[in-house]
Amino acid sequence: MASLTLTPLFHSPTFLSSNTNTHTVTKKLSFPSPTRRRLLVNGKEYRSRRRSLVLRRSAVDDVPVLDPPPPPPPDSSESDKTELIASLKLKLLSAVSGLNRGLAANTDDLQKADAAAKELEAVGGPVDLSVGLDRLQGKWRLLYSSAFSSRTLGGNRPGPPTGRLLPITLGQVFQRIDILSKDFDNIAELELGVPWPLPPVEVTATLAHKFELIGSSNIKIIFEKTTVKTTGNLSQLPPLELPRFPDALRRPSDTRSGEFEVTYLDNDTRITRGDRGELRVFVIT
């Protein structure tokens, strides 16, 4: 019978480690080269060679975990500006209060209101409606118009006078702006005196316009029509649309259209300056 002898020549494996700090470390398991086995069959020797074996394994070193840095402190300059604007808005509102939207303003009142508005405009900075037109959206109530000091409802434009000649009492005045339809309506609540013993007639006059943005902060309005609607005891009456005068019969100054600049605008306050020098202050309703 054939004689079979298996003699392994096996040495303990050697791990070659690296001292690197990377997360993946190569560990090499190797045998002396060549690593052989001797196989004897009937006195004849056969040898086999085993290849080196390379193993990779994942190693996670101890990495210290640092807390994230604290958030930066709030910008004190921005906070100071917000407080300053709030103070200047209060100053402006105090300057125009009690002036009956400007109808009771004298020269000194006009100067104080203009100076307070300029302070707020300077701190607020330029208005750019090309990127913030939606801030115009809504119904704005007029607090003050320097044009009303002329004692006419048209201000620096043609309009009915107030006083004893025409017993017209001005109520609230609004601007209603729709940025999608480009509607721009001036709305005035009026009380019309009638002979005694009849009660005064309350009406709401709406001057409808379309508007377009000129540049970054100028608004151009184009007159369309005037509608009068009775309120109070006569609210059941339908609205009346007043006819327009032919352009040939209208005075050159009576264009019913105009242009103004928005000089200050935030979420609840708006200041405008018209093409005839009118200063107007509005608050959102």
More confident residue, 123 or 166: 123
Tell me how many domains the chain contains: 1
Residue 77 covered by a domain: no
pLDDT in the model for residue 53: 46
Residue 268 covered by a domain: yes
Per-residue confidence band for 210, with pLDDT thresholds at 50, 70 and 90: very high
Residue 62 covered by a domain: no
Residue 24 covered by a domain: no
pLDDT in the model for residue 195: 84
Per-residue confidence band for 6, with pLDDT thresholds at 50, 70 and 90: very low
Segment among 247-251, 267-271, 281-285 with least mean pLDDT: 247-251
Give the whole-angstrom CA distance, residue 28 versus residue 45: 31
Is the pLDDT reported for residue 106 higher than 90? Answer: yes
Is the pLDDT reported for residue 266 higher than 60? Answer: yes
pLDDT in the model for residue 285: 94
Give the whole-angstrom CA distance, residue 187 versus residue 172: 8
Per-residue confidence band for 150, with pLDDT thresholds at 50, 70 and 90: confident
DSSP 132: T
**CA terminus-to-terminus distance, the chain:** 114
More confident residue, 200 or 59: 200
Is the pLDDT reported for residue 214 higher than 80? Answer: yes
Residue 190 covered by a domain: yes
Residue 15 covered by a domain: no
Count Cβ atoms within 10 A of the Cβ of residue 119 and give its class: 0-12 exposed, 13-18 middle, 19 or more buried. middle
- pTM score, whole prediction: 0.68
Residue 10 covered by a domain: no
Is the pLDDT reported for residue 188 higher than 70? Answer: yes
pLDDT in the model for residue 9: 47
Give the whole-angstrom CA distance, residue 117 versus residue 231: 34
Q: What is the mean pLDDT of residues 205-222?
A: 96
Q: What is the mean pLDDT of residues 141-153?
A: 85
Residue 66 covered by a domain: no
Question: What residue numbers bound the domain in which 262 lies?
Answer: 82-157+165-284
**CATH number of the domain enclosing 214:** 2.40.128.280
pLDDT in the model for residue 199: 87
pLDDT in the model for residue 163: 54
